[in-house]
Amino acid sequence: MLDLLGWKGQILRSSDLRSRPGRSQRLTDLTTAVGARSYLCGTGGMKYLDMAPFMTQGIAITPFLTPPAGVWASGHRITVVWALATLGPTAVAGRLQAVAAAQTALATTV
């Protein structure tokens, strides 16, 4: 699926990285291990995420919310498989890039 979307990043396995037990501590450790300064968290994860370990490490928590209109209106209820089958990989990749660009623009204005 990542190839279809043109993703060129590196895949890391969490089992290959050192982390402590506990959901939020483990996520903080993994985020730190890859050198990230922000953790992108969906609405489900925001319900249980303990922000304290992230704050201690200076890691920002960025909520991921799909836009409320257009193709993303029901995005919180579907999987990427639906989007790929319905729209195709080129359209999905383009729309994901547009969302990422909008998030980046929003982050730089705050």
Question: What pLDDT score was predicted for residue 100?
Answer: 77
Question: What pLDDT score was predicted for residue 75?
Answer: 66
Backbone angles phi, psi at 18, to 5 degrees: -80, 130
What pLDDT digit, counting tens, does each position of 60-86 carry? 998 887 777 776 777 666 667 777 888
| Enclosing H/E stretch for 32 | helix 23-33
Question: What pLDDT score was predicted for residue 55?
Answer: 95
Query: Quick check: 5 and 93 in contact, CB under 8 A?
Result: yes
What angle is formed at CA 24 by the lines to CA 19 and CA 27, rounded to 5 degrees? Answer: 45
Chain Cα centroid distance, residue 89? 18
Whole-model pTM? Answer: 0.61
Does pLDDT of 103 surpass 80?
Answer: no
How far is the C-alpha of 38 from the C-alpha of 32, rounded, in Å?
A: 9
How far is the C-alpha of 100 from the C-alpha of 87, rounded, in Å?
A: 18
